[in-house]
C-alpha cells in the first residue's frame, strides 16, 4: 500500500502543477502558451482559394501547391496578423473530380475586401545589391534595386559541386536567365565584383550570395552552406517566385469577435456543466470510487489542456466538442472498472482483491473500446476537412489521455486508500447506488 500511496501523492502533485500551468499561462497576456484559438472562437476571416492545376504536370503538382502555400504565407505575414494559418487540402468536387484548395485563416482580420486584395497581389522576385549607409553613428546595410527581377529568370535547378573535403559534393543552385536577363545580369556582376547580390522574394531576402567574378552567358551558381533540403527549397522558391498556379477565390467568411467570444463562452460553459454533472453522478452512484473517478477526470483535464497549450493545438468549437466527448470515454472506462469491482465484492472478495480483479476483468473491454475510437479518429483526421480534423485531433489526444486516466490514475488512487478487509464504513463507501456492495 505504501508504494501506491507514493505514486498517488506524486500524481496529485503533477496534476496540481499542470493545473497551475494552465491557469498561470492563460492569465498572463504575454505568455507564449496561451490557448491558440481558431477563427470560430477568436473571430477573423477565412478565405478559401481554388488552385488551377490544369496546366501543371501531375509530377509537379505537389511542389507547386507547397510553393503556393509558402508564397501566401509570406504575404500573410506582412499583415502582422497574430497566429495566421495557411493550409492546403485536396477536396472532392460534385463532379467526382478533386480540387486543390488553399485555406487562409486570418484571426482578428474582419475586412474581407482588404484581405483578398492583399493576397491577390503577385509576389515579386528581385535581385538587389547590398550597400551601406550611415544613420547617425551606426552603419546599416541597404539593398538597392538593380532592375533584375523574376521575369528575367527562365529556370533554377539543383546541382552538386565539389565541397571543401575531397570527394564530398555540396548542393548548389544554378540560375538560368533569358536573353535580356543574361545581358543585365552580366552588366551587374561586371560592375559589382565583391558585392552582395541578394535575392528577395516578397520583399524578404532568401539568399545573399557574393559576386565572385563577372558572369556572362546568363547562368549563375549560388554556392554556400546549403543542406540538400535548403537548396531544394530555394530552387522551388525561385522557380515559383510568382504564384506557381492561378488561384481563384472560392468562398470567404468572417466571424466577428463578439460571435467568437460567445462561441468560446458557450463551449467552456458546456464543458464545465457536463463535467460537474458527470462527477456528481459518479460520486452519488459509486461513492468512494466515484470520488476517485472525479479526481482522475480532473487530472485528465489538466493534462489535456496542458498538451493543447504546449503542442500547440488550434482550439476550435469542434475541438472543444472532441474534448468533451473524450471525457465521456474516460467515464465509460471507470464505469466498466467499478461494475466489475462491484461484482467481485458481491461474491465476497475483500476490497483490495476486488479492485485488482475488477481492473483485470475490465481491461479487455477498455482496450478494445479505446482502440476502435482511436482508429475512427485517425480516419476522420486523414479524410476529413480542416473543421473535422480539428475535432479528430483533440478527440484522439483525449482518448489516449482518458485511457491513462482510467487505467492508471483510478487504479493507483483506489489501491492507495482501500483496506484489505471490508469493515466499518468501508462496506458503505465501496458500495453503489442503494446497496452497500
Give dist(CA 307, CA 215) in Å, integer. 54
Question: What Å distances lie between residue 257 and 118, 185, 226, 274, 332, CA to CA?
Answer: 22, 50, 44, 26, 36
- What confidence score (pLDDT) does residue 318 get? 84
CB-based contact 134:113 (threshold 8 Å):
no
Task: Determine the 3-state secondary structure of 56 from DSSP.
Answer: coil
Tell me 432's DSSP state. Answer: B
- Please report, for the chain, how many H helices and E strands are present, in that order: 13, 13
Question: What Å distances lie between residue 303 and 11, 14, 20, 31, 88, CA to CA?
Answer: 11, 9, 11, 18, 30
- What confidence score (pLDDT) does residue 165 get? 44
Give dist(CA 149, CA 126) in Å, integer. 4
Q: What cell was used for 102?
A: 488553399
β-pairing, 36-37 with 314-315? parallel
CB-based contact 260:40 (threshold 8 Å):
yes
Give dist(CA 44, CA 29) in Å, integer. 19
CB-based contact 403:366 (threshold 8 Å):
yes
In 38-137, DSSP assigns E strands to 44-51, 85-92, 98-107, 125-135
Task: Determine the 3-state secondary structure of 332 from DSSP.
Answer: helix
Task: Determine the 3-state secondary structure of 24 from DSSP.
Answer: helix
Closest CA to 124 of 280, 217, 243, 278: 243
- What confidence score (pLDDT) does residue 167 get? 45
- The model carries a pTM of 0.65
Question: What Å distances lie between residue 35 and 95, 215, 299, 308, CA to CA?
Answer: 39, 52, 18, 7
Residues near 364 by Cβ (< 8 Å), separated by ≥ 6?
none
Tell me 138's DSSP state. Answer: E
Three-state SS for 191-253 is HCCCCEEEEEECCEEEECCECCCCCCCCEEEECCCCCHHHHHHHHHHHHCCCCCCCEEEEEEE
List, in order of start, the domains of the chain with CATH numbers.
2-37+256-429 (1.20.1640.10), 44-122+245-254 (3.30.70.3400), 125-239 (3.30.1360.200)
Q: What is the side-by-side strand order in the sheet with 138-149?
A: 138-149, 125-135, 197-201, 204-207
- What confidence score (pLDDT) does residue 191 get? 93
Q: What is the largest CA-CA distance in the chain?
A: 98
Q: What cell was used for 429?
A: 463507501
Closest CA to 386 of 75, 17, 85: 85
Dihedral sign of CA atoms 372, 378, 379, 384 in order: positive
- What confidence score (pLDDT) does residue 20 get? 96
Give dist(CA 433, CA 30) in Å, integer. 48
Give dist(CA 253, CA 125) in Å, integer. 31
CB-based contact 309:33 (threshold 8 Å):
yes
Closest CA to 309 of 110, 66, 23: 23
Question: What Å distances lie between residue 159 and 155, 208, 350, CA to CA?
Answer: 13, 18, 75
Backbone φ and ψ of 423, nearest 5° = -145, 160
Block means of pLDDT (10 residues each) for the chain, length 437 residues?
A: 88 94 92 84 85 82 82 71 75 70 83 76 76 79 86 83 58 87 92 90 80 88 77 76 77 78 82 87 88 89 91 83 82 86 86 89 90 91 78 88 81 87 74 60
Q: What cell was used for 155?
A: 529556370
Cell 498561470 sits on residue: 24
- What confidence score (pLDDT) does residue 428 get? 77
Q: What is the side-by-side strand order in the sheet with 153-162?
A: 153-162, 169-177, 219-222
Task: Determine the 3-state secondary structure of 93 from DSSP.
Answer: coil
Give the count of alpha carbons within 13 A of 305, CB side only.
23
Amino acid at each position: 500500500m505504501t508504494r501506491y500511496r507514493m505514486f498517488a501523492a506524486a500524481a496529485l502533485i503533477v496534476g496540481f502543477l499542470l493545473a497551475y500551468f494552465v491557469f498561470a499561462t492563460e492569465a498572463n497576456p504575454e505568455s507564449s502558451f496561451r490557448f491558440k484559438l481558431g477563427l470560430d472562437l477568436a473571430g477573423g476571416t477565412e478565405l478559401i482559394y481554388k488552385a488551377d492545376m490544369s496546366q501543371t504536370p501531375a509530377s509537379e503538382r505537389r511542389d507547386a501547391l507547397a510553393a503556393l502555400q509558402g508564397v501566401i504565407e509570406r504575404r500573410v505575414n506582412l499583415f502582422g496578423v497574430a497566429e495566421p494559418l495557411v493550409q492546403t487540402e485536396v477536396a472532392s468536387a460534385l463532379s467526382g473530380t478533386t480540387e486543390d484548395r488553399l485555406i487562409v485563416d486570418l484571426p482578428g482580420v474582419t475586412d474581407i475586401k482588404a484581405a483578398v486584395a492583399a493576397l491577390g497581389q503577385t509576389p515579386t522576385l528581385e535581385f538587389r545589391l547590398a550597400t551601406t549607409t550611415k544613420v547617425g553613428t551606426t552603419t546599416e546595410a541597404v539593398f538597392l534595386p538593380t532592375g533584375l527581377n523574376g521575369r528575367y529568370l527562365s529556370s533554377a535547378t539543383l546541382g552538386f559541386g565539389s565541397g571543401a573535403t575531397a570527394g564530398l559534393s555540396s548542393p548548389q543552385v544554378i540560375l538560368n536567365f533569358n536573353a535580356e536577363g543574361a545581358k543585365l545580369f552580366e552588366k551587374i556582376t561586371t560592375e559589382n565584383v565583391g558585392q552582395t547580390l541578394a535575392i528577395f522574394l516578397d520583399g524578404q531576402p532568401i539568399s545573399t550570395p557574393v559576386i565572385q567574378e563577372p558572369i556572362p552567358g546568363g547562368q549563375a551558381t549560388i554556392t554556400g552552406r546549403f543542406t540538400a533540403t535548403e537548396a531544394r527549397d530555394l530552387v522551388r522558391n525561385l522557380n515559383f517566385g510568382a504564384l506557381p498556379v492561378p488561384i481563384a477565390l472560392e468562398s470567404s467568411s468572417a466571424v466577428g469577435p463578439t460571435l467568437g467570444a460567445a462561441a468560446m463562452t458557450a463551449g467552456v460553459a458546456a464543458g464545465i456543466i457536463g463535467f460537474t454533472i458527470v462527477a456528481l453522478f459518479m460520486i452519488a452512484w459509486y461513492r468512494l470510487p466515484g470520488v476517485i473517478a472525479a479526481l482522475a477526470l480532473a487530472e485528465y483535464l489538466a493534462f489535456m489542456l496542458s498538451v493543447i497549450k504546449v503542442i500547440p493545438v488550434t482550439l476550435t468549437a469542434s475541438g472543444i466538442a472532441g474534448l468533451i466527448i473524450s471525457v465521456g470515454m474516460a467515464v465509460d472506462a471507470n464505469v466498466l472498472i467499478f461494475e466489475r469491482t462491484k461484482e467481485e465484492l458481491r461474491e465476497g472478495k475483500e476490497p483490495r482483491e476486488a479492485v485488482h480483479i475488477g481492473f483485470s476483468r475490465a481491461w479487455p473491454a477498455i482496450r478494445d473500446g479505446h482502440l476502435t475510437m482511436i482508429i475512427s479518429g485517425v480516419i476522420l483526421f486523414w479524410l476529413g476537412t480542416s473543421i473535422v480534423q480539428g475535432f479528430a485531433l483533440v478527440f484522439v489526444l483525449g482518448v489516449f489521455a482518458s485511457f491513462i486516466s482510467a487505467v492508471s490514475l483510478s487504479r493507483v488512487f483506489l489501491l492507495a486508500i482501500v483496506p484489505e478487509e471490508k469493515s466499518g464504513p468501508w462496506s458503505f463507501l465501496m458500495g453503489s447506488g442503494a446497496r452497500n456492495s
